[in-house]
């Protein structure tokens, strides 16, 4: 049986578990969550459920001091975040100690407060969308716990008072069995003192003893509470969100104090083809980007999907007998970082505004070519050695918060992304060509031709028709070789592929399988280009993303990750048009080539789903809500409602619309008439207003009777139809029949007698009757049913009504036997 006390303990445990999970999630410290969850659960089992053990008095104090010392290590010398972590540890440990103690109203409240403080700390750190769901769950559970606590407090009061009264009654009536052997508490001693010399005789000043003979909340209360909890929670949430969005904000949103060391992770730094297509398809959002006309501020959608370039993996290595692409991080020094150049004011340019999700990765992305603006963060630099944009230099610590930055780029005349970009080397600013760096040329053309015989042969065949100065055309030919070939297809699923261990995976893909993902296509093309002496490298980044029409930005997720190729074009290989557009510079250009079949690639991109939308909303409108997104920022448009001219024009257009639709006109007329009648009724009779239901019901009944009686002159059926029968009377009519049956048998309920007492009295009266059991059970069952229908809002279906009628008939027959 789920009593209120047990329900309270369970709700409290659930609250504690959720708060433990939340505080761990906020710091990405699942160990802390585990301590909180497991400790609390064990405490509940040991102390509340099985009642094997509980920490008492001094022991609990010692345990509290011990956890204080344990949690506060490093508090003094730590930074703000460390101090907060110490505090959160302390909160969790103290809560576990409390869970091992005997529970009472006060202790339950202490546990609740600690949980609430944990939520405060978790909120100061950071919570992702899943954490946000737990946050709301916590709130629901905490609400339930508080409700149950409120009920249990009343129960406890009644129990205490009953105990006092029972003791007093036992003392007053001399019932030794009910009296404790010795006083066990202050209350007991007090009562014993008060009642010690009780004298029953006379009419002295002895006060009565009062006792509430019922557990206030029986088990049937629980479902009712849970049923109403949804309403309370929804109301609280609605209010909370309204308040949340209307509070004005003056600054950027806070994303927590945690700093994490940067570490190169993921495919952006290395492609080894070892995992053979294991592009992570988590759907996690990486960033969003909007393109704007830098002069007008107009948001733009590009004519073709943009490539958001990450880093170039130009270093070819053979690892475990397989082709592996890496960036030359071993050659990165502070001197190879440069701030991206700024564009000339008169050039055609597009502003890119990025917002990256919180990550500890220093790499950032951009459509190329990328240029700085005066508002571009000073943190952003271009590392020429790995050819990547970064927001911090390696080994720095970065804040784990959403990162916003803006960069300029150039697009074609129809807003299509450029096919090449000109920052070829450190010497670009000085107009130097890459060819002036023989070392770079050497490792960008490095190839072990014996590993890839088929690729090399094919490349040679494709290049045979092109002259040395037709490098651009040669590159495009090789790109289209993959794109247009019917033999090659795109897949991420290699489960049924039998790899030839004797061949390099790229060669194996090219010769045998001809199906693979972008890394294989890009690798193959790079190798083919290099076999023809063209410096080429594999580039990783993101392709396309999903354009959000409403918000006018691209949302890019992890499954939009892509690999493509950059081939070096010498200055002589670049056309005038490329130079004019800014795709090529004095040092040449990096030409983007994407051999992966485009149609297949487009299909690969995952679509929006509900969870992703919710994640975005959480990130944008909860975690990242700032003065730009808050509703108070739109006060201007809200004040627009006071503009009368706007209303007038609105009315005019609406009137025109109504005139054109006769059905609408009739409907509106009917609605207007009804409204007028309703208003008159309300004004005259007050029937549909008023605060008290009884008054309202009385008036409605009056009107109904008036109408019903008038119609009664025409037809009695109409009168019955209008006046009807009171639903309450219908539902409890069986009890009236029961009382009339009992009344005929000489049993009448005394006015001060409760229905149950009356049922008990009837049962006792027929205790010697041959059908005593039938009479007793029938009367008691019907009384219980009456209680549930009359006071418990329960319904009595028609089929049950028949059963009840049968029971009463049987009862009548049984009682009649005795009178024969």
Partner 1 sequence: MLGEPVEQRTSRLKLRMTAEGVAFLVILAFVSVGAVLRSVNLLILLAGMMCAPLLLNWRSQIHVMSSLVFRRHLSQYVHAGSLTPVQWECENEGSRLNAWNIVVEDSTRNITDIEPGKKINRKKNGTRATVVFPQVAINRSGFVSYRTYFEKRGIYEFGPAVVATTFPFGLMRSTIRLTDIETVIVAPELGRLSHSWDRRLESIALGSEANRRRRGVQEDEFYALRTWRSGDSKRHIHWRSTAKYGTPMIRQHDQKTNRDLAVVIDLRSTGSAIENERCERALSFAATVFAGLGSAVKGQVTLAICCDEKIVISERYHPETVAQVMRCLGTVKIGTWAMNVNDPLIETIITANGLVSNGTPLFVVSPRDEASGCGHWTSDNTRLNSTMSMVHWLEVDSKQFSMMFEPSNPQEQKKIDALSEKWMADANR
123 near partner 1, judged by CB under 8 A: yes
How far is 224 from 232, CA to CA, in rounded Å? 13
Stretch that binds partner 1, among 31-39, 602-610, 618-626, 796-804 (CB under 8 A): 618-626
Q: Which is nearer to partner 1, 236 or 707 (CB)?
A: 236
Shortest spacing between CB 405 and partner 1, in angstroms: 20
Which candidate, 443, 429, 333, 428, places its Cα nearest to that of 383?
333
Residues 61, 104, 235, 675: which binds partner 1 (CB under 8 A)? 235
Compute the least distance from the CB of residue 667 to partner 1, in Å: 30
Looking only at residues 162 through 191 of this chain, which bind partner 1 when binding is defined by CB under 8 A? 162-163, 165-167, 169-170, 172-173, 175, 177-178
- 67 C-beta neighbours (distance < 10 Å), count: 19
Residues 70-89, interacting with partner 1 (CB under 8 A): none
Instruction: Give the whole-angstrom CA distance, residue 217 versus residue 535.
Output: 81
Least distance to partner 1, CB of residue 468, Å: 60
Can you tell me whether residue 575 is helix, strand or coil? coil
Site for partner 1 in 370-429 (CB under 8 A): none
- Please give the distance of CA 172 from its chain centroid, rounded to a whole number: 61
Q: Is 306 in contact with 544 (CB distance < 8 Å)?
A: yes
Q: 592 forms bridges with which residues in the sheet?
A: 566
Residue 212 Cβ vs partner 1, minimum distance, rounded to whole Å: 4
Contact of 425 with 434, CB cutoff 8 Å: yes
Q: Which stretch binds partner 1 (CB under 8 A): 149-157, 474-482, 518-526, 649-657?
A: 149-157
Torsion of CA 150, 152, 153, 157, to 10 degrees: 140
Tell me, what DSSP letter sits at residue 202?
A: S
Interface with partner 1 (CB under 8 A), residue from 107, 159, 514, 737: 159
User: In the numeric block, which tokens belong to residue 47?
Assistant: 């102390």
Give the nearest distance from C-beta 73 to partner 1 in angstroms.
25
Residues 745-774 that bind partner 1 (CB under 8 A): 750-754, 757
Residue 387, phi-psi category: left (phi > 0), alpha (psi -120 to 50), beta (remainder)? left
CA distance 589 to 423: 7
Comparing C-alpha atoms, which of 434, 360, 737 is closest to residue 588?
434
Judge whether 79 and 123 are in contact, CB under 8 Å.
no
Task: Kindly identify the residues of this chain, within the stretch 783-812, that bind partner 1 according to CB under 8 A.
Answer: 790-793
Among the listed residues 55, 119, 356, 447, the single contact to partner 1 using CB under 8 A? 119
CB atoms closer than 10 angstroms to residue 563? 26
Q: Counting contacts by CB under 8 A, is residue 358 touching partner 1?
A: no
Q: Please select the residue that binds partner 1; options are 196, 197, 202, 656, rule is CB under 8 A.
A: 202
Which part of the chain contacts partner 1 (CB under 8 A), choosing from 40-48, 111-119, 344-352, 597-605? 111-119
The C-alpha atoms of residue 266 and residue 360 are separated, in whole angstroms, by 11
The CB-of-314 to partner 1 minimum distance in angstroms stands at: 42
221 pairs with which residues across the strands? Answer: none
Query: Angle, to 10 degrees, between the axis of helix 105-124 and the axis of helix 80-99?
Result: 160
Tell me whether residue 5 or residue 348 sits nearer to partner 1 (CB atom). 5
How buried is residue 521: exposed, middle or buried, by Cβ count under 10 Å (0-12/13-18/19+)?
A: buried
What number of chain residues touch partner 1 (CB under 8 A)? 103
Stretch that binds partner 1, among 60-68, 114-122, 385-393, 436-444 (CB under 8 A): 114-122
Task: Assign 317 to helix, strand or coil.
Answer: strand
List binders of partner 1 among 566-585 (CB under 8 A): none
Q: Mask: binding to partner 1, 240-279, rule CB under 8 A, as x and -?
A: xxxxx--x-xxxxxx-------------------------
Give the nearer residue to partner 1 in terms of CB position, either 255 or 329: 255
Distance CA 476, CA 488 (A): 17
For the CB of residue 691, give the shortest distance to partner 1 in the complex, in Å. 7
CB of residue 733 to partner 1, shortest distance in Å: 17
Among the listed ranges 96-104, 305-313, 662-670, 686-694, the one in contact with partner 1 (CB under 8 A) is 686-694
625 binds partner 1 (CB under 8 A): yes
389 close to 382: Cβ distance less than 8 angstroms? yes
- In whole angstroms, the minimum distance from the beta carbon of 138 to partner 1 comes to 9
Q: What is the dihedral of CA 769, 773, 779, 782, to 10 degrees?
A: -160
Q: Which is nearer to partner 1, 395 or 793 (CB)?
A: 793
Using the rule CB under 8 A, is 819 a contact of partner 1?
no
Q: Which three-class secondary structure state does DSSP give residue 760? A: helix
Q: Which is nearer to partner 1, 53 or 212 (CB)?
A: 212
- Smallest separation, CB 502 to partner 1 (Å): 57
Which one of 1, 76, 186, 203 is in contact with partner 1 (CB under 8 A)? 203
CB of 79 to partner 1, least distance (A): 16
Nearer to partner 1 by Cβ, of 211 and 336: the residue is 211
- Sole window of 50-58, 345-353, 398-406, 689-697 interacting with partner 1 (rule: CB under 8 A): 689-697
Q: Contact with partner 1 (CB under 8 A): which of 103, 217, 471, 570?
A: 217
In whole angstroms, the minimum distance from the beta carbon of 184 to partner 1 comes to 9
CA 51 to chain centre: 37
Question: Do you find a cis peptide bond into 400, omega within 30 degrees of 0?
Answer: no
Binding flag, residue 232, partner 1 (CB under 8 A): yes
Q: What's the min distance (Å) between Cβ of 49 and partner 1? A: 16
**Does 224 contact partner 1 by CB under 8 A?**
yes
By DSSP bridging, strand 546-548 and strand 420-421 are unpaired
Least distance (Å) from partner 1 to the CB of residue 181? 12
Least distance to partner 1 from the beta carbon of 697, Å? Answer: 7
* Selected binder of partner 1 within 21, 87, 151, 524 (CB under 8 A): 151
Backbone phi, then psi, for 781, in 5-degree steps?
A: -65, -45
Name residues contacting partner 1, limited to 692-731 (CB under 8 A): 692-697
Helix (H) or strand (E) holding 652: helix 644-659
The C-alpha atoms of residue 336 and residue 222 are separated, in whole angstroms, by 68
Residue 283, interface with partner 1 (CB under 8 A)? no
Is residue 21 a contact residue for partner 1 (CB under 8 A)? no
Tell me which of 161, 339, 404, 817 binds partner 1, using CB under 8 A. 161
For residue 812, give the nearest of 784, 767, 774 by alpha carbon: 774
Does residue number 116 form part of the binding site for partner 1 (CB under 8 A)?
Answer: yes
Q: How many other C-beta atoms are found inside a 10 Å radius of the C-beta of residue 398?
A: 18
Whether the CB-CB separation of 820 and 770 falls below 8 Å is answered with no
Q: 139 vs 547, which CB is nearer to partner 1?
A: 139
Indicate the burial class of 548 (C-beta count within 10 angstroms; 0-12, 13-18, 19 or more).
Answer: middle
Q: Can residue 150 be called a binding residue for partner 1 (CB under 8 A)?
A: yes
CA distance 256 to 42: 32
Residue 363's SS3 state is: strand
Cα 16–chain centre separation: 19
Distance CA 619, CA 609 (A): 15
Does position 663 interact with partner 1 (CB under 8 A)? The reply is: no
Stretch that binds partner 1, among 60-68, 161-169, 267-275, 491-499 (CB under 8 A): 161-169
Smallest distance from the beta carbon of 759 to partner 1, in angstroms? 14
Q: Considering only the stretches 60-68, 206-214, 510-518, 667-675, report the one whose residues sit in contact with partner 1 under the rule CB under 8 A.
A: 206-214
Distance in Å, CB of 72 to partner 1, minimum: 20
How far, in Å, are 12, 45, 151, 439, 722 from residue 41 at the CA level?
11, 6, 24, 64, 60
Q: Residue 553 CB: number of other CB atoms within 10 A?
A: 22
């Amino acid at each position: 049986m789920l009593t209120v006390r047990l329900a309270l303990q369970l709700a409290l445990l659930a609250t504690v578990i959720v708060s433990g999970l939340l505080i761990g999630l906020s710091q990405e410290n699942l160990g802390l969550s585990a301590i909180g969850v497991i400790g609390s659960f064990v405490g509940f089992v040991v102390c509340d459920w099985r009642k094997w053990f509980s920490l008492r008095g001094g022991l609990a104090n010692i345990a509290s001091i011990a956890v204080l010392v344990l949690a506060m290590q490093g508090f003094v010398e730590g930074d703000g975040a460390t101090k907060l972590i110490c505090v959160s540890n302390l909160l969790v440990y103290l809560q576990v100690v409390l869970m091992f103690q005997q529970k009472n109203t006060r202790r339950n409240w202490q546990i609740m407060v600690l949980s609430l403080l944990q939520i405060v700390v978790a909120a100061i750190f950071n919570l992702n969308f899943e954490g946000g769901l737990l946050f709301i769950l916590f709130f629901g559970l905490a609400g339930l716990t508080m409700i149950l606590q409120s009920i249990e407090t009343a129960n406890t009061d009644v129990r205490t008072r009953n105990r006092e009264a029972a003791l007093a009654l036992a003392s007053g009536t001399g019932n030794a069995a009910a009296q404790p052997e010795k006083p066990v508490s202050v209350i007991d001693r007090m009562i014993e003192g008060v009642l010690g010399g009780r004298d029953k005789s006379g009419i002295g000043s002895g006060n009565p003893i009062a006792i509430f003979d019922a557990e206030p909340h029986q088990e049937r209360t629980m479902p009712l509470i849970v049923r109403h909890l949804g309403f309370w929670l929804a109301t609280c949430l609605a209010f909370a969100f309204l308040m949340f969005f209307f509070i004005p904000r003056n600054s950027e949103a806070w994303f927590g104090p945690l700093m994490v060391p940067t570490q190169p992770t993921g495919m952006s730094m290395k492609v080894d083809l070892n995992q053979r297509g294991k592009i992570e398809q988590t759907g996690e959002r990486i960033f969003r980007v909007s393109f704007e006309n830098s002069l007008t501020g107009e948001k733009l959608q590009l004519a073709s999907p943009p490539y958001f370039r990450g880093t170039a993996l130009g270093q070819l290595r053979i690892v475990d007998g397989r082709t592996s692409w890496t960036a030359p991080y071993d050659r990165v020094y502070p001197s190879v970082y440069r701030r991206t150049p700024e564009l000339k004011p008169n050039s055609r340019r597009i502003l890119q505004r990025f917002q990256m999700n919180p990550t500890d990765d220093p790499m950032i992305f951009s459509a190329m070519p990328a240029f700085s603006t005066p508002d571009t963060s000073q943190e952003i630099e271009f590392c020429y050695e790995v050819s990547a944009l970064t927001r911090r230099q390696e080994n720095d610590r970065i804040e784990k918060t959403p990162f916003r930055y803006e960069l300029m780029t150039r697009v074609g005349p129809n807003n299509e992304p450029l096919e090449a970009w000109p920052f070829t080397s450190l010497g670009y600013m000085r107009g130097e060509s890459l060819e002036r760096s023989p070392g770079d040329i050497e490792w960008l053309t490095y190839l072990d031709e014996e590993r890839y015989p088929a690729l090399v042969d094919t490349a040679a065949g494709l290049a045979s028709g092109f002259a040395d100065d037709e490098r651009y055309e040669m590159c495009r030919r090789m790109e289209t070789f993959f794109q247009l070939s019917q033999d090659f297809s795109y897949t991420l699923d290699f489960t049924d592929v039998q790899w030839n261990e004797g061949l390099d995976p790229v060669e194996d893909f090219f010769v045998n399988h001809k199906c693979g993902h972008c890394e294989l296509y890009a690798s193959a093309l790079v190798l083919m280009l290099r076999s023809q002496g063209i410096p080429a490298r594999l580039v990783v980044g993101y392709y396309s993303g999903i354009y959000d029409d409403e918000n006018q930005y691209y949302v890019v997720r992890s499954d939009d990750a892509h690999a493509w190729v950059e081939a070096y074009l010498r200055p002589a290989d670049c056309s005038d048009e490329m130079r004019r557009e800014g795709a090529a510079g004095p040092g040449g250009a990096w030409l983007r080539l994407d051999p992966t079949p485009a149609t297949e690639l487009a299909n690969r991109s995952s679509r929006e789903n509900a969870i992703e939308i919710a994640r975005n909303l959480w990130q944008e409108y909860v975690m990242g809500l700032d003065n730009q997104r808050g509703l108070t920022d739109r006060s201007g448009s809200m004040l627009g409602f006071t503009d009368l001219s706007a209303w007038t024009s609105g009315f005019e257009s609406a009137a025109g619309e109504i005139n054109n639709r006769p059905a609408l006109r009739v409907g509106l007329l009917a609605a207007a008439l009804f409204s007028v009648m309703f208003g008159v009724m309300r004004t005259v009779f007050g029937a549909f207003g008023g605060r008290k239901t009884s008054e309202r019901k009385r008036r409605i009944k009056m009107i109904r009777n008036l109408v019903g009686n008038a119609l009664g002159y025409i037809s009695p059926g109409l009168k019955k139809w209008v006046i009807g029968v009171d639903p309450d009377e219908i539902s409890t009519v069986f009890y009236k029949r029961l009382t009339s049956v009992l009344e005929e048998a000489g049993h009448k309920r005394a006015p001060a007698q409760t229905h149950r007492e009356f049922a008990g009295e009837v049962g006792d009266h027929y205790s010697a009757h041959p059908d005593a059991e039938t009479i007793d059970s029938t009367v008691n069952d019907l009384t219980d049913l009456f209680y549930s229908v009359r006071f418990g809002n329960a319904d009595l279906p028609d089929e049950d009504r028949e059963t009840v009628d049968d029971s009463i008939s049987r009862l009548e027959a049984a009682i009649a036997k005795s009178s024969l």
